[in-house]
Amino acid sequence: MTNKEFFISTVNAERPVFRAVIDALPEDQFGHKVHEKSREAGNLAFQLAAQWEGISNIVTKGIPVMDSFKGLPSKAEMLAMFDKNFDQMLKDVASISDTEWETGMGKLEFPGGKWEDKKYNMSWGFLFDAIHHRGQLSTHLRAMGAKVPSIYGGSLDAKPGA
């Protein structure tokens, strides 16, 4: 299995978990924060919907632009965006050659500096970042009284009668 094939396999396995965590967020709790310095739950969910656009643009343009990350849509709109962005990301990753995946360069500039790396490293980095933010959002869910879906293995909240 190539690195690109493993990436596609991994994101496909993670897809339903990302979607379930976004879907578990009560719409009336988008402003929930677990600490004054933490991000709002709705903002985290929105990032999980938009993150895949960044990976698409890494592999197609070399820069992780996320144009859809504007405003704060409803949960239904986030889920639709997640599906659209995820499907496009899968198509874009599958469509580039293994050579471009392995040797093509990506670049990200942000207030604290810049990140230049191989497209595959940036794509994996964006996936790991999304997993990190999914974990943050899952802590919001429990704290706001929402049910935490199964992420890796069972969740007490996902048991019948929970």
> What digits encode the pLDDT tens for the residues 36-56?
998 999 999 999 999 999 999
Q: Is the pLDDT of residue 66 over 90?
A: no
- Over range 16-42, report the average pLDDT: 94
Domain boundaries, the chain: 3-158
Least Cα distance to 42 among 22, 14, 67 occurs for 22
* Residue 41 Cα distances to 24, 30, 32, 68, angstroms: 11, 5, 5, 18
Q: Which CATH number fits domain 3-158: 1.20.120.450, 1.10.1740.10, 1.10.287.130, 2.60.120.460?
A: 1.20.120.450
Say what the pLDDT of residue 161 is: 64
Cα separation, 28 vs 32, in Å, equals 9
Confidence of residue 159 (pLDDT cuts 50, 70, 90): low
pTM of the complete model? 0.91
